Every structure is written in structure tokens, then in C-alpha cells.
Structure 1
Amino acid sequence: MTATGTWDQGTFAAAVGAAVWAPSIHNSQPWRFRRTTRGIDVLVDPGRVLPVCDPEGRAARVSCGAAAANLALALAVAGAPATCTVGRCGAVVHLAPDVARAATPLERRLHRQIPRRHTNRAPFAETRVDPGVVAQLARAVADEGGWLDFVEDGPELDALAALTRQAYVHLRADAGYVAELRAWSETADVDVEGVGRQAAGTAPHPAELMPRRDFGGPERAATRDPTRSPVVAVYGVHGEPAADEVRAGIVLQRLLLLAADHGLAVAMYSQPIEVPAVRERLRLALHRVHDPQLVLRFGYAPTTCYTNRRPVADVIDDADAG
């Protein structure tokens, strides 16, 4: 750190290099990082908010929160721990009072998972997740003001699957949505953004209980849907948007890294959240006061292919702010 209490350029750039591995819808990477005299700002890049899929910027705010979580972990492991103060359009990472403390073993473990974690778009193995691990994930989320509602196999899972299919059909009927999806997938295999065919896995199959997003992957002649074997849950946080959507991203990223630390793969379904009417039906079905943020599946699956990331220099604002 510099004498003024901010991070030097090398520490800052290295931490941003970890931050950009956060998840984002269509791998749009809607964040910018600005080093200031008081810390680091993680801000939504309005030019990368998806106008059709995310018109209100909800998903972009969640992604900025996830990036801030990675940033804070990287700073802690570098010996310069930080605390996150959440704002409406991003997250501000401030210096923590205990700047001299060493990173905890958990921080080091989660930090190691940052480049390893990726969204699973491949079939899961029919291997049961240890209930003790499931309980640890739920407890970790609850400790940070969030909630995980696990959906049991049977009528509850069928109802969630029906809502997911409704959202999928609704979105696919929107020509603007399809065009936007294609724009973020057609050149992604050779680009630094988007989700290409290599990372997308196979195309969604009609027999899938919960249809995945179609990024143009190859067709499958048949499918053995493994949805009922992995753990299915709905994730959310206690609080109101939009600041709490940033906080939802911070808690979500720690959850994803903790799951990766336990060897779990995670698939994410945002489609039921993207359609307001479906999101409201899901909230009512869960008897929750606040909107759900994401549908998740935890299980075991081989690593397939990672999505690309933009260079660090492309996401940093050049001039330091006062």
C-alpha cells in the first residue's frame, strides 16, 4: 500500500485480475474499476448492461457485487484486507482498519478457487451431494444475510421446473432476446466476452426438466436429465433493490467459491428472474418477502470449458479520482 493508504498500482491491477473472473449474464462483464484516494470503486458499466435481458440492470448489479467479493479476497491474500461498502450502482471497497492482519485460511482457500470456478453447462453426475456440505452452504449464506431455499424432489421441484420452462418459452418468443443472445455467443470462442459453443455445452433438449440457455451448442439426439440428482435451490437476500442486488452478488460469489472449494459444480438459471411475472410467482411460491435472485443446481460434473475475460487494462478507469 502507498503512504496515502490506497493500494499501489501493482496490487490494484492484480486484484482486478481476480475480480474479473466473477460471473455475469451472457459473460457481458458489466463492470469498471476505479482506484481513488479512499479505496476502489467497482461500478456498473452502463454500456454493457443488456437492454433486452437486463433492462433494469439488476443482473449487472449482482455481477458487480460478485466482482467486489473477488477483489476483496485478492486484497486480503495480498496482505491488504478490505471491507465492502455497498452503493446503488456498484460496490466501494475501502481499506479495513486491520490492514496488517494476515489472510485467514478460508480466505486463502476461496481465493484459490477464483480462477477455477465456472458455471457448469454440462450434465451432472448422478452422485449425491453430502447433506453436511449442503448445510454448510446454507449456513454460510444465512450468516451474510441471504437465504437458500432448497427444493425437494417431487411436486416442489416440478413446480419450479414449470416456472423455469415458462420463462424459457417467454424469452425465446422475443425476437430481441434471441438476437441479443446470438450477439453475445456467435464470436465468443475467439473473443474476450460472451459465451461461445465451447463453453456453452450442448443445446438444451426438450426432455430437460429445467431448460438451459441456448448459446448455439451442438444438438443431442437423446438426454438423460440429471436435474433430480443434484441439489436444486433458490437464492436470495433479505433487503430491497437496488443496493441489495449488489450485496446479493457479494454473497453469491462467496457461495459459489465455497461450493467450488467442496468440489461442487454449480449451474445457474436466471431465466425465471428475468421475466417479472414468473419471478413474482416464484416469490409467492416460496412465501418470501423479497424477490429471489437466482435458481441454482449444485452437484458433481467434469470441468468443460471456461469463458474468456477482457484484459485488465480494458476495465480500469485511467485517472485516479479524488
Structure 2
Amino acid sequence: MTHTDKINALALETLLTAAVAAPSIHNTQPWRFGFDLGTRSVTVHADRSRSLALADPDGRAQYLSAGSAVFNLRVAAAHLGWQPVPHLLPDPYDPDLLATVQLTVPTAAAPPDLRTLYPAVARRHSSRMPFTGRPVPEPVVAEMVAGARAEGAHLYVPDILRTRRLLRVTSAAELRNATDKARTAESRAWIAPPGASPYGIPFTTARPLDAAGRMPMRDFTGRPPAPGRPRMRFERHAQVALLWTVGDRPRDWLQAGQALERALLVATVHGVRTSLLHQAMEWPDLREAMRAPSTRWCSPQVLIRFGYGPEAGGTLTPRAEAPPADRRVGHAVRTSNPGPPVPGDGDRRSPSPGTDGPRITAHRGR
């Protein structure tokens, strides 16, 4: 798309629609967005009200989710003809300001690779369905690995034996989650009837479990499985990739989120389906057991399952709407409606069916 100096409501809508298409743990969408006209920067803020106290006590997954949104912002900005310049944790006095993405005039040397990923932003969805078992070609896997590396992270693609080990550790984590009453209550709080909320996981039967028990797909309802949940045979030889970083601090988590989304979009461009297996990352000892071999410093972030399969169909998760901001004001902050309730918090309620998603309310910038 040809570059334009105008940052209007349509451009902001394009940017924010791409941002909220990013994956997030339990589909909490734990972010807020703003726009600073003075610096031509989209601001990304943490929404702490959407944190998971038990599954994500340190906020690592929230930073991972926000990092994925940052990468989508960069892709959308490049699509609109801007050169996006991200700044992670730019204000040490504002820990909720996770990142800014400045829209600068592109140069002749600007790489075109981000623009090519834009069509995949809307097409990328987590697939919880069985894959065919047809192996993904090595050049595609290598491109996913290179994409993660370009964002400062690593993808470890194990052989069959190590894949089975990683899946066994993930299965152990899923069993712990399912038998822990408090964690089950936390995950169930983010289940909503289809169409009732733009956040969380819609309660639907189109999320099968593996009949053979090899593929540890997350069951948000706990044990025993909810009535009507179908059981299907998943691929016998799964392909997975472990996303990891050398460091394990908030900046590393934001970088990992960008690397994750870049790898997922590369896969989507090539018609490859993906899903995220995060359960083992929620238990310190099991996260340690997921470390890639022969690495001195390895902080596992998430396990990616990938392969060929059907369209996501009934397994799609909703997204909050992204209405445009008023371009006349100096600063616009995107605020969220209350999402699914947090266990023990009687004041939190899910939006009623038919209510609007997040709004962008405007106020003067600093």
C-alpha cells in the first residue's frame, strides 16, 4: 500500500483490528491501546484486570500476548505504508506501558517482509482440531525458525522421540490443571456461551479431545470432560516447535510474543494450521522440564503444534471490536468492557449479549 501522511480513523481501525487479532492466553485480550499524535505512536498498555492469578502469576503470558499484538501492529503499519519502529517498555515509571509502535516515513531500504504477512493476520486462528499427519516441508519449518530468530527468540524443532517427551510433560501439566479445583475454576470463568462476550472461550462442542490420549489439548472445563465433548483421533506423529528465549524478563517475554506471532503468521501464509500448548509453562518444575537440550540458557515460553488440517470453523474465538479513535484529540486510550468473572470477584460480570466490545475513549495527551 502507498504511504500516506494521514493518520485517520480508517488507519487507526486497521491498526487496532490487526492488534486484537493476536492470540492471548484464554483469549483474555489483556491489553489496551492508545495513540499519541505528537509522536505518531500507537501505545500498548497492560490491562491487569484480565490477568490470571493462578495460571500466570508473574504476568509472563500476558506480556507474551501483548508482544503478539505489537507484532500485528507492526505488520498492519507496514501494510499501510509506514515504517513501524517498536519501543519495548519505554517508560520505567509506567510499568503498564508495555510498548509503543512509532509510525515513521519508510526508507528505500525498508524490508518488504512484514507487508507480505498482512493477509495472514485475519486468517490466523488456533486450530483445536486433528491434523492430517502430512508433514510440513522443511523449508516452511525453516522459515518459521528464521522468523522467530529475527525477533530475538528461538524455535527448537525436536525429533519424534523428543516430541513425545514434550507432549508427555504437557500432558502431565494438563492433568494437574484438570485436578486442581482453583485452577479449574479460573479457566471455567473464561468460558462463555457463543456470542455472549467478545472475550474468553465460547462453550462449544467443536473442541474435541484426543481419543488416544496422546495430544494434550486443553480442557477448560476440568474433569470429567463436559458432556458432549467429542473424542477424535489426532495425528499420530505430531510436529511441534518450542519457542524459547535466553533471558526470562518482561522485555524477553515481549520479544517472545513478537517471535511467536511472526512464526504463526509465516505458517498461515503457507496454509499450515497451528495451536498453542501452554499448560507446562504454568508449572515451574514442568516448564523447566521443557527446556531444549544442549542449551546453557533456555527459558521455554510456549509449545507450538503445527500441521495441515481443516479450517478452524466452530473453534474460532471471538475478538473485541476496534472502533476508530477521534483523530482530532491528542491521545486516545482503548478501554475494555468487563470480561468473564475472576473466581472470587463478585463484581466482575461478562458483557450481556449484544453489548459493544471495547471502546476507544479520548483525552488529551501528556
Superposed displacement of residue 249, structure 1: 0.7
Say whether 1:194 aligns with 2:207.
Answer: no
Q: Provide the rounded CA distance (Å) in 2 between the counterparts of 1:142 and 1:82.
A: 19
Q: Provide the rounded CA distance (Å) in 1 between the counterparts of 2:241 and 2:261.
A: 15
Query: Aligned to 1:136, which of 137, 140, 143?
Result: 143
Match of 2:363 in 1: 319
SS in 1 for 2:212: coil
Superposed displacement of residue 139, structure 1: 2.0
Q: TM-score, normalised by structure 1?
A: 0.89
Q: Which blocks of at least 5 consecutive residues in structure 2 are unaligned?
A: 90-94, 324-357
For residues 32-84 of structure 1, give each alpha carbon's deviation from its aligned partner in whole angstroms, at most 9, with x where no partner exists. Answer: 00112221211110111112221211111111111111111111111222111
Bigger Cα displacement from structure 2, 282-291 vs 98-107: 98-107
Q: Provide the rounded CA distance (Å) in 1 between the counterparts of 2:63 and 2:245.
A: 14
List aligned pairs for 1:130-169, cutoff 5 A: 130-154=137-161, 156-169=162-175
Match of 2:35 in 1: 35
For residues 109-162 of structure 1, give each alpha carbon's deviation from its aligned partner in whole angstroms, at most 9, with x where no partner exists. Answer: 2111111000010000121211121122112222332111112112x2232122
Contact 1:77 1:102 in 2 (8 A): no
Q: Provide the rounded CA distance (Å) in 2 between the counterparts of 1:145 and 1:199.
A: 38
User: Residues 227 and 193 (structure 1 numbering): CA distance in 2 closer, same or farther, change over 3 Å?
Assistant: farther
| Greater percentage in strand | 2
User: Residues 224 and 163 (structure 1 numbering): CA distance in 2 closer, same or farther, change over 3 Å?
Assistant: same
Q: Provide the rounded CA distance (Å) in 1 between the counterparts of 2:157 and 2:42.
A: 35
Match of 2:247 in 1: 239
User: Residues 245 and 238 (structure 1 numbering): CA distance in 2 closer, same or farther, change over 3 Å?
Assistant: same
Q: Provide the rounded CA distance (Å) in 2 between the counterparts of 1:82 and 1:308.
A: 27
User: Residues 54 and 238 (structure 1 numbering): CA distance in 2 closer, same or farther, change over 3 Å?
Assistant: same
Match of 2:329 in 1: none
Say whether 1:224 aligns with 2:233.
Answer: yes
Would you say how many aligned residue pairs link Structure 1 and Structure 2? 313
Percent identity, aligned pairs only, is: 32
Q: TM-score, normalised by structure 2?
A: 0.79
Q: Provide the rounded CA distance (Å) in 1 between the counterparts of 2:112 and 2:199.
A: 32
Q: Provide the rounded CA distance (Å) in 1 between the counterparts of 2:260 and 2:60.
A: 14
Contact 2:151 2:258 in 1 (8 A): no
Query: Aligned to 2:214, which of 209, 212, 222?
Result: 209
User: Residues 286 and 267 (structure 1 numbering): CA distance in 2 closer, same or farther, change over 3 Å?
Assistant: farther
List aligned pairs for 1:87-126, cutoff 5 A: 87=89, 89=96, 90-96=98-104, 98-99=105-106, 105-126=112-133
Name the aligned partner's letter for residue 278 of structure 1: L
SS in 1 for 2:201: coil
| Greater percentage in helix | 1
For residues 291-311 of structure 1, give each alpha carbon's deviation from its aligned partner in whole angstroms, at most 9, with x where no partner exists. Answer: 111111110011123211112
Superposed displacement of residue 6, structure 1: 8.8
Q: Provide the rounded CA distance (Å) in 2 between the counterparts of 1:320 and 1:290.
A: 43
Bigger Cα displacement from structure 2, 135-144 vs 294-303: 135-144
Contact 2:163 2:239 in 1 (8 A): no
Name the aligned partner's letter for residue 213 of structure 2: E
Contact 1:189 1:198 in 2 (8 A): no
Contact 1:188 1:194 in 2 (8 A): no
